[in-house]
Amino acid sequence: MSTPLDGVRVVDFGQFIAAPAATQILADLGADVIKVEPIHGESSRSIGIYGDAILRNYNRNKRCIALDLKDVRGQQVARELIAGADIVVQNLRPGVMDSFGLGAEQVRTAHPDLIYATVTGFGLHGPSKYRAGLDIAAQAESGIMWVTGEADREPQRVGFPVVDAAAAHVFAQAILGAYIRRLRTGDGDTVETSLLEVAVHLQGPNWGEYLLTGNDPVRKGNGQATVAPAADVMPTRDGAIVVSAYSVVHFDRLCNLLGHPELASDPRFETNESRVRNRPALLEELRSEFAKMTSDEAMTLLTPNGVVAGRISSYREVHKNPDVEAAGIFIDVTDPTGVEHTTLGSPWHLHSIPRFSTTGAPALGQHTVELLTELGYTAAAIDDLATTGVVCSRKA
């Protein structure tokens, strides 16, 4: 069965998350993704379990070649790989690919029909162009940490690399847009995004309010600044749920379900504005009722009646959630040594792709010999490159 990107070749010079996660999307859409790593391996291979998790989640069904791009022979191999590609993706520090003769301008001059895509920390056009850019720096400088946490406590980061993950989806979306344009016109394109841009864009509603009022949002922990109850935590007998019911219809319904219809007409709570002003009193009233229930009882009361609520779940509970199980986002794959493990698939479904690949992330240099052979290198030439340290061809 043909896939949307069947026959498309991607050369991926990415490391860590933003670029490899974007090319993982392309791989799941059927592209042949060639992961190009340094001969000592990309940075994720040397940082323990966190790095192993990154490799497993974002490098399934890719082929790996390990090259010394500081050597002119390694650069030549890279150029040959690029010559047969449709898309090149990279997230190395600005200037690094140019120093290898593999930058966007150099590559697109040689191959005008190619898509060359770069994701950076702070963009390619501002004063921070050459700064190291990781997720946490983007969270800090975009305002995300400014609005995350309790009002009287220090700013908090979101508890996972949210900007890296979001940037990968934005990046893949832009790459696919450029590729569709190429199919229509025959012209390639240069694609750019940055963690900082994505981090700002993720906060659209907050920025909308700021641009309307000129007022900085403030940290308030849970709850939303201008609506109530919204994203408010309700402790239960055995855990906690989160509830949002700020429209007139939903707040009335919530009050009736809790057996206190009078709260909807209480002057402190009768409008959204009054509920926001009196949020502590509102939460005291609501929490006293939810404290009598288990989380299951609360969810059974609210969700069939159209009130938005969610059980605050541990990872163990999420893994066993029947809706998560039905979605099939956890998939079983086989690593290069033949060992099976569970990892994440892409969070979407195309009926033309019945199942994501069950091939795990490649070992460093696993496909070096295979790819060099495809490029026309003889066995003797490959051995010479390996013995002189230009390529790594370990199988595990």
Torsion of CA 36, 137, 162, 18, to 10 degrees: -10
Show Cβ contacts of residue 354 under 8 Å, excluding neighbours closer than 6 positions: 1
Dist. CA 132–CA 146, nearest whole Å: 21
Q: Nearest 5°: phi and psi at 49?
A: -65, -35
Percent helix, strand and coil across the chain, each to the nearest 5: 45, 15, 40
- By the 10 Å C-beta count (0-12 exposed, 13-18 middle, 19+ buried), 183 is classed as exposed
* Residue 164 annotated in active site: yes
Other beta carbons within 10 angstroms of residue 266's beta carbon come to: 16
109, 180 in Cβ contact below 8 A?
A: no
Selected catalytic residue, list 164, 323, 332, 383: 164
Element (DSSP H or E) covering residue 53: helix 49-58
Q: Which amino acid is located at 244 in the chain?
A: S
Instruction: Return the closest-CA partner of residue 158 out of 140, 185, 172.
Output: 140
3-state secondary structure 162-207: HHHHHHHHHHHHHHHHHHHHHHHHCCCEEEEEEHHHHHHHCCHHHH
Catalytic residues: 164
